[in-house]
Amino acid sequence: MPATPPPASSHPPEALSPAAGDALLSTIRQAAAKLGFAHVGVADVDLRSAEAGLLAWLEQGFHGSMHYMQTHGLKRARPAELVPGTVRVITARMDYLPEATPAQWREQALQRLQQPDAAVVSLYARGRDYHKVLRQRLQQLAEVITQHAGPMGYRVFTDSAPVLEVELASRSAQGWRGKHTLLLSREAGSMFFLGEIFTDLPLPLTPTEPHTDYCGQCTACLTACPTGAIIAPYRLDARRCISYLTIEHHGSIDPKLRPLIGNRIYGCDDCQLVCPWNKFARRTPLPDFDERHGLGHAQLLELWQWDEATFLQRTEGSPIRRIGHVRWLRNIAIALGNALREADETGAQAIREALQQHANHPEERVREHVAWALAQKTQR
């Protein structure tokens, strides 16, 4: 919310009649569509039923080194405590598959995972940083709301604070929590971002049908997870998740998990690639998420050659920049080690020579992972 937000009483319940609330919600949805959002809903702030699951997940240590999750504790499930005065949460979905994405994109992505020399970057991270795109557009949407409803207290979030966004989204008719723990939509699969506006404006709640899980008996995501991070339906141990390991985790990656990472150097889409619902994934009209610098078909040795200046230049405005050059090299070193085991003698020689370039890197994390990679033996 703003530095001096209006008190919650600035919008008492009687301030919006049902007709006025519905009209305002219609205006919000029209404005959201113009800003590139595919769907908007409104959720209540009572998430008490989600608290037990959150606490159990934290107590089991499944959050790994993401200590901020433990620090914020139950604030994640209590929007009115996180942002005092909040009575509603507007949830917004933004699709991210580029408009030019081919019909067989899932099959092509799965095939690329079988090419050891290929550098696999998660689909969502190949374009502009979604944090910036969503935050700006959510802010613009909030400004539209104030133009029609008057001053309100609000704060926008885009994966940037302790928010139970999947829980809020499912309670505002955006979809349901899949067995891989991501939100799923019958109309759009899961290839989208979520953002929220916490507000003291008592908007009408989005009607939701009784909880329905459309995953059925499917366990494709559990079977596909390379590291077994989805330990049970709806339960993710982040400490084993490749997205966590290559993005969130700062230190050394467990040697037992390194071979399982394969050629994935930033994030992992496997559980989404095999999900049947993603045959409905939608393309975005926004050019922000178009692929940059050939990241959809880059080779490991090509990206390994990026020095820090090149890395910073080519990841400007990208979510990849957040991991920094050291972790970039750490991740690629693991992938190169995995590629080395599959390479013929000519390919193996090229990989070894490339790895030697950073064998004496000033950062211990890089040296360690390079040494591991060089120790991998060709299995051919």
Tokens of 158: 């885009």
CA-based nearest residue to 81, from 204, 202, 198: 198
Torsion angle of the four alpha carbons 323, 324, 329, 330, in this order, in degrees rounded to the nearest 10: -50
Burial string for 55-86 (b: 16+ CB within 10 Å, else e) reads eebbeeebbbeeeebeebebbbbbbbebbebb
Is 269 catalytic? The answer is no
Per annotation, catalytic residue among 44, 159, 200, 237: 159
Work out the number of other CB atoms within 10 angstroms of the CB of residue 22: 13
Tokens of 68: 């901020």
Burial string for 324-357 (b: 16+ CB within 10 Å, else e) reads bbbbbbbbbbbbbbbbbbbbeeebbebbbebbee
Residues 6+ positions from 209 with CB-CB distance below 8 Å:
173
DSSP 304-328: HT--HHHHHHHTTTSGGGGGHHHHH
Rounded-to-integer distance, Cα 311 and Cα 118, Å? 18
Between helices 345-356 and 364-374, what is the axis angle to 10°? 160
Tokens of 67: 């200590």
CA-based nearest residue to 197, from 298, 79, 296: 79
Residues annotated as catalytic are 159
